[in-house]
Chains A and B, each alone.
Chain A
């Protein structure tokens, strides 16, 4: 089954404690990205990756890091989480070529930073 898998689904952590949210897709997609969803703000793109070892900032990259060492995986790293990073996070993947293909989303990770 084609899917994007995020882990964990729920996470409560304390300010400053480094964490990683994993994302894996099995569709051989080149393009992967991370979004955060906050009430009234829709989804905002954090980082995206066009392919292995190619990443770039989205609209809200501050406080986040990513890496793309393998095509299927795109982890999101919060080196020093703060309460304003409490949010619902989605990973998504799609083809890079041809452009203009639908994105497939993971089930989401609800993060609470206290």
Chain B
């Protein structure tokens, strides 16, 4: 059974600092997604990672995927207040089903 773990669950950081959110999953998959959710809002797609070693960057966010380690990271560079949100990783099962399993989310608060 596929399980997805994110850590940390909560992250409070100062503006200008760097930090990394980790997403571990338990079975083989090469399809991993990152989403952002603002308070009271829906989810929006940030990154789609589809192969081992995939790296994608958008502004101050960079996501990577290591399928051998079953690990994805979301790195935040020089955080700004606008990045405050909850970030979810999701893994797509690729062995006979088409399920998506989400992590529990990382609630990020960037302090001015």
Contacts and interface: CB of A to CB of B under 8 A. Distances in A.
B33 A42 contact: no
A74 interface: no
Contacts of B43: 43, 90, 92, 103, 105
A70 interface: no
A59 B101 contact: yes
A89 to B, nearest CB: 11
B25 interface: no
A107 B41 CA distance: 7
A40 B92 CA distance: 20
A100 B30 CA distance: 9
B70 interface: no
A23 to B, nearest CB: 12
Interface residues of B, number: 24
A108 B38 CA distance: 13
B48 A100 contact: yes
A90 B42 contact: yes
A67 interface: no
Contacts of A99: 31, 92, 94
27 contacts: A40-B104, A41-B104, A42-B104, A43-B90, A43-B102, A45-B102, A48-B99, A48-B100, A56-B97, A58-B99, A59-B101, A90-B42, A90-B43, A96-B98, A99-B92, A100-B50, A100-B92, A101-B48, A103-B43, A104-B45, A105-B35, A105-B42, A105-B43, A106-B42, A107-B41, A107-B42, A108-B42
User: What are the 10 tightest A-B residue pairs by CB atom distance, in nearest-first order?
Assistant: A102-B45, A42-B104, A43-B102, A42-B102, A105-B43, A105-B42, A100-B50, A100-B31, A42-B105, A107-B42
Interface of B: 6, 31, 33, 35, 41-45, 48, 50, 88, 90, 92, 94, 97-105
Given A59-B99, A99-B94, A100-B92, 7 more contacts: A41-B104, A44-B102, A48-B98, A59-B101, A103-B43, A105-B44, A107-B42
